[in-house]
Amino acid sequence: MSGELIIQAVISGLLMGLIYALVAVGLSLIFGLMEIVNFAHGEFLMLAMFTTFWFWALASLDPLLSLPLVAIILALAGILVHFGIIRRLLKAPMLAQVCGTFGLGVALRAGAQFLWTPDFRTITNPLIAGRVQIGPIFIGQPQLITGGICLLSFVALWWFVTRTETGLGLQATAQDRQAAAVMGIPTERMSALGWAIGLGCVGIAGSMLSTFYYIFPEVGVNFALLAFVAVALGGFGSILGSLVAGVLIGLVESLGGLLLDPSYKTLIVFGLYLAVVIVRPHGLFGRF
């Protein structure tokens, strides 16, 4: 087991982990605001990837250029989902909330399969294609740039939530909805904003992911599961937690795949989830 292989695995795990983190933070935000776990989260990632693909295939728009478009589209979808679906679900018992978003995910997944067949698709030769070489280590340029954009997104999100008035309103709503409402914060709009940001992040992640990952209807399933693990590990409601946990999971998955049978790497991550929620139900940084 050469050192190079290990470093290679660490780097690719880190980069992948940043993607997991960005996907996870959306979940975390939504749960922090209204205690709903979005079981359709992975499907929105899949939709972001397909949207990017069709922009590329039909309008010859490079993913890097369509990135802001996809992010906005997903953000708008988030607002739609909130007002159209989630508002109703909030009044229902937890069983209905879980099953509801779960059903949405199933429908989206099957819908994608119906519309676009289960075929795998790729975006060939995006603008950012290529490899970067650092010593004996090769890093795919799409992966590198994706990692960078994810990190940037986190910084932007962090800045927004902690330094702007709206962001503080989000925090307040997440911590105590009634108190926030009494202080004049439009909690309903904050919830919608949460969905917009959450799915917007997924839009960014999906858009960049499609530059080097296969695009197919089931792609969201595994990412969602990993995102659940990340949020549970990092703590529901914690942005920093999602970042740390996402990266950690990327590393565990990558190194696990290297040191053990690659087909079992998902099992390792799942084992991590169980260990975390049982031993430390609130996760590393979480409140729930």
Partner 1 sequence: MSSNQTDMLEAARAERLWPRPPLWVAALGAAAIALLLAYPFIFKASFSHHLMILILLYALMAQSWNVVAGLSGQISLGQAIFFGIGAYSSTVLFTKYAITPWAGLLVGMLLSALAAVAIGVPTLRLRGHYFAIATLLIGSSVQIVFQRWDWVGAASGLYVPIDRTSPLFYLQFHTSKVPYYYLALGAAAAGYLVVWKLRRSRFGFRLQALRDEPDAAASLGIAIARHKVLAFMISGAMMSVAGTFYGQYVLVLDPERLFSMEISIIVLLMTVLGGSGTLWGPALGAAILVPLSEYSRIWFGGTGRTIDLILYGILILLVCMWRPSGILSLLEERIRRRTGTP
Question: Which positions lie near partner 1, rule CB under 8 A?
Answer: 31, 37, 39, 85, 88-89, 92-100, 102-111, 113-114, 225, 228-229, 232, 263-264, 266-267, 270, 273-274, 277-278, 281, 288
Considering the complex, state which of residue 45 and residue 149 has its C-beta at the smaller distance from partner 1. 45
Closest distance to partner 1 from the beta carbon of 97 (Å): 7
CB nearer partner 1, residue 111 or residue 130: 111
d(CA 36, CA 27): 9
220 contacts 23 by C-beta, under 8 angstroms? no
Task: State the minimum distance, in angstroms, from the CB of residue 259 to partner 1.
Answer: 17
**Angle at the Cα of 115 (from 24 to 58), degrees rounded to 5?**
85
Dihedral in degrees, nearest 10, Cα atoms 201, 206, 212, 214: 150
Q: Which is nearer to partner 1, 160 or 288 (CB)?
A: 288
CB 227 → partner 1: shortest distance, Å? 10
For helices 94-116 and 41-59, the axis angle rounded to 10 degrees is 20
Cβ 282 to partner 1 shortest distance, Å:
11
Closest CB to partner 1 among 97 and 211?
97
Which conformational region is residue 283 in: left (phi greater than 0), alpha (psi within -120 to 50 degrees), or beta? left
CB nearer to partner 1: pick between 52 and 97: 97
Cβ at position 281, least distance to partner 1 in Å = 7
Closest separation between CB of residue 38 and partner 1, Å?
A: 10
Closer by beta carbon to partner 1, 37 or else 248: 37
Report how far residue 150's alpha carbon sits from residue 50's, in angstroms, rounded to the nearest whole number.
19
Helix (H) or strand (E) holding 249: helix 239-259
**DSSP strand pairing (131-134 vs 137-140):** antiparallel
